Each structure stands twice: as structure tokens, then as C-alpha cells.
Amino acid sequence: MIDSHVHLDDPKFDYDREDIINSLKDRGIDRVYNIGADLESSIASVSLAKKYDNIKAVIGIHPHDAINYNDKVEEKLIDLAKDENVRAIGEIGLDYYYDNSPRDIQVEVFKRQIELADKLNLPIVVHSRDASEETFNIIKESKEKYPNLTFLIHCFSQSVEMMKRYIDQGCYIALGGVVTFKNAKVPKEVAKEVPLNRLLLETDCPYLAPTPMRGKRNEPYYVKYVAEEIASIRNMEVKDLVEITDANTRRFYND
Ligand code: NI
């Protein structure tokens, strides 16, 4: 199966990155998408993808780092995107929970990278926290301007109603470890209601490990716990679910 969102360049994998990547196949993971969050991790994503067949790269500047975005950074992203392993721009968006960059700059940098994705003809992986209405409005406006763009809302943590509005905009929805948490009432409802042909599975490792690994370092093969939980919520076989979500992932990433 596929894990649509990993950060294997994270320092938490420094001591066993090679082992983790080499054991993916044996542990049932065919492919992972390594997601950038700043220039350094975007470069690292492309390097990993060049080195390993089972890794593809996503590059972009996270809202936390929006303050450091400039023409030079954008040129570097354009340069990196020339590599055929780069499958999307991300993770980009808005984070009004941490507010690590001023909100007006987050908005500006999100919009600039959406424009960039359109130019490069790449889909977009979106990070959105405590900014659900604002994120939605920017995506809706962008779809009017750039109708061919496709968005994936990663680690979806908003309401069922918001999910439906995103679906109406042609977006994909990715669910991760949070859906396995006992008290995650809303994510479980989203897992039940989301149209199956728009659902992706992810870990966001090393963050947000699913139950029963909660609190530990997350790893790509724990995506199976996410699959098991959603299959159980939807009353279907895990393998049937994974067949669909894997196909969705490849369709989203044009891969
Ligand atoms: Ni992430």
C-alpha cells in the first residue's frame, strides 16, 4: 500500500532512515511521498526520491516558514521541480494555530505557490490548521482562476460540512493517525462520509502516530492502522479500501 504523506528527511529518522526505507517493501509499503516544508526539506525530498525508487517528492514552503519566502526561494523551487520525481507542490497553506509567520504573509505565500503550481502543472498538498474558512476561500478563488488545479487537504481535521464543500471544489481528502484516536468523533464521521474516490491515506510520520502506536515515532507502515480503522468504520475489507485509496493517490499525484 501507499503512504501519501511522510517526512522521512526529519532528524528523527537520522539514525535508521536507510533501514526504514529498505524495509518498506517487506512491510507492505510500495511507495511513499516525501513532503517538503521549507527549502532544506524540499531539497532533501528530491534527493531521497533520486536515491530510492519507492520515494517520490513533494516540494514547497509550509505556512510556518512563509516569512522566509522570496524570489530566490521560488527560483530554487522551480529548479527543483525540473526533476521528474517531483509530483506536487506542498505542503503549503495556512496555520493560524501556531502563527509562526504573520497571517498576511501566510496568505500571500500560499497564493504565490498556488500560482507556481499552476505554472508547473502540479497538484497541491494543503496544510490547514485553525484557518478552515480562509483556506477554503483561497482554494475556491484559485479554482476559478486556475480550473485545472487539484488540491489535497492533508491531515483533514475539519467538519463533515467543510469536507463536503472541499469535495464540491474537486479536492481530495487525506486522513491519518488522528482518525484512530478514541475521542476523534469528527474525523471518524469524515471517514464515514467522504466519497471513497476522493480519500487518501497518510501517516505524516514522524508525527501523529496512530493507535496503538500513539505517542511513539510514527513510521510509514503504521498507515495500515489508519486503513484498518477506516475500513472498520465503513464496514468494508481493508484490502478493498486500500485498492481504492492507492488508486486515488496515484491519480492525485499523476503517478
Ligand atoms: Ni506533513
How many other β-carbons are positioned within 10 Å of the β-carbon of residue 50? 13
Q: How far is the CA of 205 from the centre of ligand 1 (A)?
A: 7
- Residue 232 confidence (pLDDT): 98
Distance from the alpha carbon of residue 82 to the mean position of ligand 1, in angstroms: 22
d(CA 88, CA 59): 7
Closest CA to 28 of 253, 203, 155: 203
Q: Looking at residue 85, what is its pLDDT?
A: 98
The CA–CA distances, whole Å, from 11 to 44, 53, 57, 206 equal: 11, 21, 17, 9
Picking from 167, 177, 157, 48, the residue whose alpha carbon sits closest to that of residue 93 is 157
Q: For residues 107 and 234, give the distance between their C-alpha atoms in angstroms, rounded to a whole number.
A: 36
In the reported structure, the alpha carbon of residue 148 is separated from the centroid of ligand 1 by a whole-number distance in angstroms of: 24
- Give the pLDDT score at 44: 98
Neighbours of ion ligand 1 (CB under 5 A): 204
Distance 68 CA to ligand 1 centre (A): 18
pLDDT confidence of residue 3: 98
Q: What is the pLDDT of residue 6?
A: 98
- Mean local confidence (pLDDT), 160-188: 97
**pLDDT recorded at residue 158:** 94
How many C-beta atoms lie closer than 10 Å to residue 122's C-beta?
22
Q: How far is the CA of 128 from the centre of ligand 1 (A)?
A: 11
Q: How far is ligand 1, taken at its centre, from the CA of residue 215, in Å?
A: 17
One-letter amino acid identity for 237?
E
Tell me the per-residue pLDDT of 38-84, one tens digit each, with 9 for 90 and over. Answer: 999 999 999 999 999 999 999 999 999 999 999 999 999 999 999 99
